[in-house]
Amino acid sequence: MAARKAKVPAENLARYADMFAAIGAGPRLEIMRLLLTSHPGGMIAGEIQDELDMPASTLSHHLDKLKNEGLAVVRRESTCLRYTANTESLRELLQFLYAECCSRSGAVDPGQIVLIRK
């Protein structure tokens, strides 16, 4: 007999889908990687722009999308905006995937995706 899947509330599924859509665009995925690399301090918008060689208006659009989906947090520092990855939201999203692929169905061996560095 197959194991029963725990039902994920519809509002959570919609939220997760929106989060995946947000990081599904190449530039936004690059931004998230930069923010995670610079965690916990984050990066000033100008630093992200310099790193990715992206026009300010395009970067602003992508950062707004990440912020609106709860994947990035922004705070003002004088005249600059500092962005950080929202690791709590990312943790929740990864737990959702992990529960489905590695815990319930066993489709993926957790040892193949989890690497703990010493």
Give tens-digit pLDDT for 31-86: 999 999 999 999 999 999 999 999 999 999 999 999 999 999 999 999 999 999 99
Count of domains for the chain: 1
Give the relative orientation of helices 56-68 and 10-23 as an angle to the nearest 10 degrees.
160
Is 5 contained in some domain?
no
Is 43 contained in some domain?
yes
What range does the domain containing 44 cover? 10-113
Residue 9 confidence class, pLDDT cut points 50, 70, 90: confident
Dihedral (CA of 30, 31, 32, 36) sign? positive
